[in-house]
Amino acid sequence: MEGLRKNVKRIDYLLLFALLGLAVFGCLAILASTYGKSGTNVPANAFAKQVMFEVLGTGAMALTASMDYRSLRKVYKWMYAVSVFLLVVVMFMPSRFGAHAWIPLGPLSFQPSELAKLALIVAIAGYMADVDESEFPDYGWKTALPVIGMFLVPFALTLKEPALGQALVMFAITFFMYMVFAKRSYFLLMFGLFVLVIAGLTAVALAYSEQAVVVIQWMVKHHLLQGFQAQRILTWLDPNYSLTQYGYNVHQAQIAVGSGQVFGEGFLNGIETRGNWIPNQWTDFIFTAVAEEFGFVGSSLLILFFLLLFDRLVRIAAGSQDTFGTYIVVGIVAMFAFQVFENIGMNMYLSPSTGITLPFISYGGSSLIINYVAVGLALSVSLRRKALRFTG
């Protein structure tokens, strides 16, 4: 009983407050984006299901937080193997929305790539902690190759579905975890150069869009990009490209975000949202529902909740006395931060549309529950960091 009281005192209530704010925004956005709509692609009873997923996710988070995260070091290889196996199994499942990404479970479905992201975090964290605690730790290419191998397998299988957005999240997770792991100035220099190269290529592509189109067509011809991926990049390079087809979603998203102005058009009063002008708004383009109906003020509040979540997670990672726990939380921060940046960016025409959902806001049971489990892992690290300071 005394141990329970101590754990209650050590709970990060600011983190829970951020989650509560995100949960409220998520449920309101789901209701707004599906209210009064019908059709085969509109999820039935989406709001009720989202509330159910919130409850299940909260329970999963509490259960995970009560578990000692260090026990995962004994089974991280099995977690990784199971996640890869499920990514193979899903290839034989029926295609939905042009991708083999879901395993049917009666009236519901499960997305293995969501589990694969978390399993990748735990597996890489376990390997990195093993290297750190070895007698002669080596942070060169010899230790980098296994990390690259662990990343490439789920990355390639996820691309095969195809699910480019999920694959990019896996890349972000691996990249930022290795940046913390390497602890070498030359890697930070490489990271800076990488950012400069990406920024430079983006600037050149935007400045010379016609030439960029030729390059993209060449990549499609040589199977380096799939057709739909190329179309998404082209719509980003040229705002007026294919407004009635491939660029339709992005164009309507821009209109919705701009229509919200300062205070929004009011809950359930968004013209774009109520008129169903944005297809599948409850998933990839959920931010447009928030921006249109709650305006700049509501959108800013949503982003502040995300920033508070990131701040608390970074503090947990920095305060952990165990490298395994630190790496796990770093991976979780990378996963959430990249998804938030990319999703809101593509809703505001700042980045190409990649099919990445907005954590805790977009509709979907698999992603929501896995996100709560991820936060539960971070809370598990937080609850046990003080005890670790007194261990030899």
Looking at residue 87, its pLDDT comes to 95
Query: Which pLDDT tens digit goes with each residue over 95-153?
Result: 877 788 888 887 778 899 999 999 999 999 999 999 988 877 777 778 889 999 999 99
Looking at residue 354, its pLDDT comes to 78
Q: Is 42 exposed, middle or buried (0-12, 13-18, 19+ CB in 10 A)?
A: middle
Residue 353 carries which DSSP code? -
Stronger pLDDT, 42 or 281, i.e. the higher one: 281
> Looking at this protein, which amino acid is placed at residue 296?
F
Q: 136-159 as b/e, with b when 16 or more CB fall inside 10 Å?
A: eeebeeebeeebeebbebbbebbb
What is the per-residue DSSP string for 124-179? HHHHHHHHHTSSS---SHHHHHHHHHHHHHHHHHHHHTT-HHHHHHHHHHHHHHHH
Looking at residue 5, its pLDDT comes to 55
Looking at residue 146, its pLDDT comes to 92
> Does position 312 have pLDDT exceeding 50, yes or no?
yes
Task: Give the integer Cα–Cα distance in Å for 288 and 260.
Answer: 9
Looking at residue 379, its pLDDT comes to 96
Instruction: Give the model's confidence band at 226: pLDDT under 50 very low, under 70 low, under 90 confident, else very high.
Output: low
Query: Which pLDDT tens digit goes with each residue over 378-387?
Result: 999 999 875 4
Task: Give the integer Cα–Cα distance in Å for 332 and 149.
Answer: 20
Q: What angle is formed at CA 49 by the lines to CA 48 and CA 53, rounded to 5 degrees?
A: 120
Task: Give the integer Cα–Cα distance in Å for 30 and 52.
Answer: 13
Looking at residue 187, its pLDDT comes to 63
Q: Give the count of beta carbons closer than 10 Å to the beta carbon of residue 344.
A: 22
Instruction: Give the model's confidence band at 4: pLDDT under 50 very low, under 70 low, under 90 confident, else very high.
Output: very low
Query: Which pLDDT tens digit goes with each residue over 16-61?
Result: 999 999 999 999 999 999 988 777 677 878 899 999 999 999 999 9
Which range in 87-96, 202-211, 289-298 is most confidently predicted, on average pLDDT? 289-298
Query: Which pLDDT tens digit goes with each residue over 58-95?
Result: 999 999 999 999 999 999 999 999 999 999 999 998 88
| Helix, strand or coil, per DSSP, at residue 99 | strand
> Does position 171 have pLDDT exceeding 70, yes or no?
yes
> How many angstroms from the chain centroid is the CA of residue 85?
21
> Does position 1 have pLDDT exceeding 60, yes or no?
no
Looking at residue 231, its pLDDT comes to 72
| Helix, strand or coil, per DSSP, at residue 37 | coil
What is the percent of the chain with per-residue pLDDT over 70, rounded to a whole number?
A: 84
Round the CA-based radius of gyration of the chain to a whole number and report it: 21
What is the percent of the chain with per-residue pLDDT over 90, rounded to a whole number?
A: 51
pTM, full prediction: 0.89
Looking at residue 205, its pLDDT comes to 63
